[in-house]
Structure 1
Amino acid sequence: MAHCQKNNGFHSATVTPDFTVANCLVAGGSLIPQIRTGRVEDENVVHLLRTDFRAMARKDVTQTAEGESSDKWTSILSKLNPIPRFPEFTGPYSVGTVDIEIPASELESPAPAPDNAAEIETIQFRIFYPCDSNATGKRITWLPAPQRDYLSAYIKFLGVGALLAEAASFIPRHLHYTTIPVVENAPILKPQTPNNRWPTMIFSHGLGGSRNAYSQIAGSLASHGVVVFCPEHRDGSAIASVIRVPYQQSRFFARGSKRMVPYTKISHDPTNEVHELRNTQLQIRLWELGLLYEAILNIDEGRKVTNLNKNLPMLEHFSNQLHVHDPGALIFAGHSFGAATVVQFLKSVFYAGRPELEAMKTPLYTPNWESSICRQVTQQNVIILLDMWCFPLTAKSTVPLFNLPLPVYAPADSPSSPLQPPGGNAVLAIESEDFFKWREHLHVTARVLSPDPSAHVVAPSTNTTTPHFFYVKRSAHLNQSDFALLFPWLTRKVLGSSAPGRALRLNLRALLQVLRVNNIPVAGTRSVDLIDNKGRDTKTSTPNGETASLRKGEVCTDDMAILDHEGNAIRDDDTATTDEAVQAWKWINIVVRRKRRKEEGKETEGAVEGVEDTEAHMAGVIEPSDSPAVERKFDFETASVFAAAPEQKLRGTPDDS
């Protein structure tokens, strides 16, 4: 039990062994962890918390009572007990957001619903978009409602343990108050583009993700002039998801009006059963993406849609604002499982009706050839793949789909067509160092990105451009999402990553430049995002073609350095060149990767190429709860991130209903 007494204006604490999770007191203007009455079953947590809190009670509080300055005390406590926060977006536009849930029955699905989708009666997504700088309104919390359920799910996903997760979820946490720097329900800004429509992207989340989990990437793109739709998949891969049952929304009592879809833990053992489970998830994901595109069309065309989120005004201000009707206009992006989802979706749509796909015993997605999505997906769609997880692509039942190239490599309908396939120029793939060093997986990724995934020897192509394929040094798989900013202890101490902000910054630069080279209008990259360029004499092209030194406040409208293959190349020994263009940013040559694989005698038949043999060993990288290091390294900083807020309800506390 912990006791608190006031001593010279500060609170001091004495600690005994019986306690549960951290609570907070206000001391000198700072929130400090204090132990509450009870017991914790996790012995590692007990030992670490007991050690840290006893040290604080014996040393820090005593020193303060003896005359230590309040500034030093506040500094110590702020490091012990940080409240996670996100940086402001760097683009020229303010960012608005809306949260939408639409009954699936109101949308014309391009393909039949999967057999296991009977209880998925809605699709849910969040939109990030440019808004007027004078727009007012509240920010949204990163943790969706009901927050207790999401918090408990996140704690389990991060490997804290089920018992502690359930107990912790019932106490207000600092994560409850972490907000995203956006304006809720703000009107969309009038498009600042030549065609008077905003470029539009769909972003699919990975394992443990949600519609909010990639707010830094989505919001940053929105601040540069891209409207980003972030669906929350109901296949059991989201950290949690709540379905509002459409026909129950008029009930006076809330019981029965919502249904929770929990996170489904699936083994990483490479068995047929596991592949079947992942394919089942993919079937739901692809079906949802088809419905999402129909919803986007309805919103842009000003059609009436039923939004089950009652806190949202009408959506008319989105009418005729989105560049989503022209074939090939929509941008597709995803992280991890989401990147694999994008690959399977684009191939399933583009090659719909092909004999090799029709012969598949269990196709993932079979859209009607006359559907809107089949008209949308062409060779021209830009594809963004962040740390693509390839295991879901390697099932024997989907080998025919794997062996087909990405649509960007497909031949043009006619040699005289004004729009020739862009090839690899429309593909951006970014790896973490975790995935770059996973060589078996890297070779499969190179195969997916190549013009002919079925080939076992890849020769340099003279007919198409190579993809933009990079990795960020000293980065972890979760660096592509918001997790690295919210849980730096996890990425730093458990996953061995450093500088999480750098990975997101480099990702944004590459994303924006790939859009520019594909003639998609986006705002320039600000100097604050170019600090990783080698040297201090960074140059940029000004609108009149002159070259000028990039100074604070200026923007780069052609960030050539970030996509420089040779300047960011890796030598044969995989070490960096001395004249790298961008620090910690390395280009991966897929031809070299495939050639080396052949020389090593490790090229095998089929799509797997050794990934299945190593998948289980990398499980902890993909899902932190599978990492043996998580429990071992769960420390005081971990507890402080989840430390409880003061007992009184703070102003602006989100509703947990």
Structure 2
Amino acid sequence: MGLLVKSLPPYTGPYAVSTVDLELPVDSPRSFGDAKLKSTGKPALQLDTVLVTLYYPADASRPGSGERQPWFERPLGQTAAGYARFAGQRPWLMKVFVYLFAANVRLPVEADRPIASTSAAAATAAGPPRTGSQETVVAEDHAPGAANGTFPVVVFSHGLNGTRTTYSQWAGEIASRGFVVAAIEHRDGSGPISTIRGDDGKQERVVDYIRPEDLTWPAGKEPLTSLEFRSVQLEMRLAEVKETLRALERLNEGEGASVAKSNRRRSKKSIGDQGLADWAGRLDLQEQVVMAGHSFGGATTFQVLRAGATSFPFKRGIALDPWADPIPPAPSLADTLSDSSFSPTDYKPDPTTSPSASKDSPPSLDIVTPLLVINSETFTLWKEHYKLVRGIVDAVKDKAPRWLMSMVGSIHTSFSDLPLLAPFIAKRTGARVDPQLATAEIVEACDEFLRSTYDGRILGQRVKEGDEVGARPGEGEKDETGRKRVMGGVPGEMRMHVRL
């Protein structure tokens, strides 16, 4: 595509992949918290529709729309203005950058193909074999459940400044291994910008990134701190996860034609009534459903798993470089409320998202499902934060298998598409790992976890003595020149901190 911006590489699993956008109205529009936007006087957190991009195994023998989904949301000028606001940059400068570097970036697959009709018909070469750091691996087996015609489901939650496409490489790679990935675009003001469409498909309102100075509070109400407001955003995120699951249930129950008619992202080339009707009975939403997320989406994953089986059906979770500050520490709500450093507003049990609770018997917030956590080097060297994440992982002990590891040489954005598209930016911001290697290793670890290959090349690694605490002696500390010492080892290798 160019010397500065690269094309997104093809997915490397044995399945062809396609995508479809769904924006569906929720049954009960509602707001969260007391904050209102100064600019409009309306609730800051309002849920009217849920927006997801589905990445899924596709039937390569049948055509789709003939188009590839753009990586950057249209209209370009409006989205560029959202990123400028988030980054504190001049809108004209961001617009120039977007038109020069991102306008032509598209996902590497044809959109709106039919979902794979059978696992055998879908298993077709979608690109070169996937390559790990030590060997080349070709997936010969299919995803769990594919043998009986269903595909496991992964719901993905993005981080701050993220969208439903900024992790497209991870989502597409997982889909190419036989999973349906539902990537949510949260409307909680944590992304750069998102548009809500009306019944006619036209823009109804815009959700900008929300800063504390954008909010006003009712008379007599104490304004929440930024961290406390993040907790209210988490409540809305959990509701969006529930709405996403409901949309998937409708597809699986044979309501695809109805979903297609109510889809506010439909176009003349979108999957029509019959295309979505073919999704009936194709999703495993009982035994093979997974919650995953990056950064603030990692916090969302923790809270979804903590809510338990009475609220969500998830059987396991993946947290990529989770940002743990907005959530209470493990192991229980009772301990959280007794810790003076956390306000009760950090977590408010909601009967729609949490197990039943009372003042005398708060719900347990321990995670009891298998959990995979992959940290960046930078988040592990952030020692106070590592302790928070480690506490959450430790609370899983004896309840389910769990892993905590770090990728040497990675930074927080190494889990997104950005380093693949602009490796020069990743390098200038501290990444030492090759972007394609980083993606391959992260996907390989997740693939082993999703298939329960606990003795695999990555998950089977042992914890070396001393690595339980995260950084080794001297790592993260300043040297004689004032620079912080990085992790030892080869960039791209995984350092295991907790295993099983």
Does the TM-score normalized on the shorter chain lie above 0.5? yes
Q: What is the Cα deviation at residue 156 of structure 1?
A: 5.0
Q: 1:95 aligned to 9, 12, 17, which one?
A: 17
CA distance in 2, matches of 1:191, 1:446: 41
- What pairs with 1:71-86 in structure 2 (closer than 5 Å)? 79=3, 82-86=4-8
**1:281–1:405 Cα change, 3 Å:** closer
Contact kept in structure 1, 2:45 and 2:233, CA below 8 Å: no
Aligned counterpart, 1:149: 78
Q: How many residues align?
A: 404
Aligned counterpart, 1:436: 380
The reply on whether 1:587 has 2:483 as its aligned counterpart is no
**1:117–1:289 Cα change, 3 Å:** farther
Q: What is the Cα deviation at residue 190 of structure 1?
A: 2.4
Q: 1:162 aligned to 90, 93, 113, which one?
A: 90
Aligned counterpart, 1:343: 302
CA distance in 2, matches of 1:491, 1:205: 19
Aligned counterpart, 2:185: 232
Contact kept in structure 1, 2:193 and 2:209, CA below 8 Å: yes
Q: What is the Cα deviation at residue 94 of structure 1?
A: 1.0
Aligned counterpart, 2:403: 468
How large is the Cα RMSD of the aligned pairs? 3.2
Contact kept in structure 2, 1:568 and 1:585, CA below 8 Å: no
Contact kept in structure 2, 1:562 and 1:581, CA below 8 Å: no
Q: What one-letter code is carried by the residue in structure 1 that aligns with 2:343? A: K
Q: 2:289 aligned to 330, 347, 352, which one?
A: 330
CA distance in 1, matches of 2:17, 2:410: 27
Q: What is the Cα deviation at residue 100 of structure 1?
A: 0.6
Q: What one-letter code is carried by the residue in structure 2 that aligns with 1:134? A: S
- What pairs with 1:396-435 in structure 2 (closer than 5 Å)? 396-397=343-344, 398=346, 404-408=364-368, 426-435=370-379
**1:438–1:191 Cα change, 3 Å:** farther
CA distance in 2, matches of 1:228, 1:181: 16
The reply on whether 1:279 has 2:231 as its aligned counterpart is yes
- What pairs with 1:203-282 in structure 2 (closer than 5 Å)? 203-246=156-199, 249=200, 257-265=203-211, 273-282=225-234
Aligned-pair identity in percent equals 28
Aligned counterpart, 1:390: 324
Aligned counterpart, 2:117: 190
Measured against aligned partners, the alpha-carbon deviations of 1:483-540 in whole angstroms (never above 9, x if no partner) come to 121232322112344312222111101111011117xxxxxxxxxxxxxxxxxxxxxx
CA distance in 1, matches of 2:193, 2:347: 31
Aligned counterpart, 1:66: none
The reply on whether 1:307 has 2:263 as its aligned counterpart is yes
Q: What is the Cα deviation at residue 466 of structure 1?
A: 5.1
The reply on whether 1:566 has 2:500 as its aligned counterpart is no
Aligned counterpart, 1:621: none
SS in structure 1 at match of 2:57: strand
**1:182–1:195 Cα change, 3 Å:** same
SS in structure 2 at match of 1:128: strand
Gaps of 5+ in 1: 1-30, 32-77, 351-368, 409-422, 453-460, 519-557, 592-657
Of stretches 190-199 and 93-102 in structure 1, the one that deviates more from structure 2 is 190-199
Measured against aligned partners, the alpha-carbon deviations of 1:56-106 in whole angstroms (never above 9, x if no partner) come to xxxxxxxxxxxxxxxxxxxxxx64xx343111111011111100111113x
Q: What one-letter code is carried by the residue in structure 2 that aligns with 1:316? A: A
Q: 1:481 aligned to 399, 407, 416, which one?
A: 416
Normalising by structure 2, what TM-score? Answer: 0.73
Q: What is the Cα deviation at residue 473 of structure 1?
A: 0.5
Contact kept in structure 1, 2:32 and 2:46, CA below 8 Å: no
**1:177–1:400 Cα change, 3 Å:** closer
Measured against aligned partners, the alpha-carbon deviations of 1:90-134 in whole angstroms (never above 9, x if no partner) come to 1011111100111113xx79xx75354774321111000011223
Aligned counterpart, 2:280: 319
Aligned counterpart, 2:433: 498
Q: What is the Cα deviation at residue 561 of structure 1?
A: 1.6
Q: 1:138 aligned to 67, 70, 86, which one?
A: 67
SS in structure 2 at match of 1:218: helix
Q: What is the Cα deviation at residue 302 of structure 1?
A: 1.6
**1:399–1:148 Cα change, 3 Å:** closer
Measured against aligned partners, the alpha-carbon deviations of 1:586-607 in whole angstroms (never above 9, x if no partner) come to 101389xxxxxxxxxxxxxxxx
**1:349–1:232 Cα change, 3 Å:** same
Contact kept in structure 1, 2:294 and 2:322, CA below 8 Å: yes
**1:119–1:437 Cα change, 3 Å:** closer
Aligned counterpart, 2:99: 172
CA distance in 1, matches of 2:196, 2:436: 33
Contact kept in structure 2, 1:198 and 1:227, CA below 8 Å: yes
**1:274–1:93 Cα change, 3 Å:** same
Q: What is the Cα deviation at residue 287 of structure 1?
A: 1.1
Contact kept in structure 2, 1:336 and 1:386, CA below 8 Å: yes
- What pairs with 1:111-130 in structure 2 (closer than 5 Å)? 114=32, 116=43, 119-130=46-57
Q: What one-letter code is carried by the residue in structure 2 that aligns with 1:390? A: A
CA distance in 2, matches of 1:562, 1:299: 35
**1:142–1:568 Cα change, 3 Å:** farther
**1:224–1:439 Cα change, 3 Å:** same
SS in structure 2 at match of 1:102: strand
CA distance in 2, matches of 1:342, 1:195: 28
Aligned counterpart, 1:451: 395
**1:512–1:564 Cα change, 3 Å:** same
* Larger of the two Rg values belongs to structure: 1
Gaps of 5+ in 2: 34-42, 120-145, 214-222, 329-341, 350-361, 476-488
Contact kept in structure 1, 2:228 and 2:326, CA below 8 Å: no
CA distance in 1, matches of 2:389, 2:277: 41
CA distance in 1, matches of 2:446, 2:102: 29
CA distance in 2, matches of 1:559, 1:179: 36
Contact kept in structure 1, 2:403 and 2:499, CA below 8 Å: no
- What pairs with 1:355-370 in structure 2 (closer than 5 Å)? none
Contact kept in structure 2, 1:570 and 1:586, CA below 8 Å: no
**1:382–1:83 Cα change, 3 Å:** same
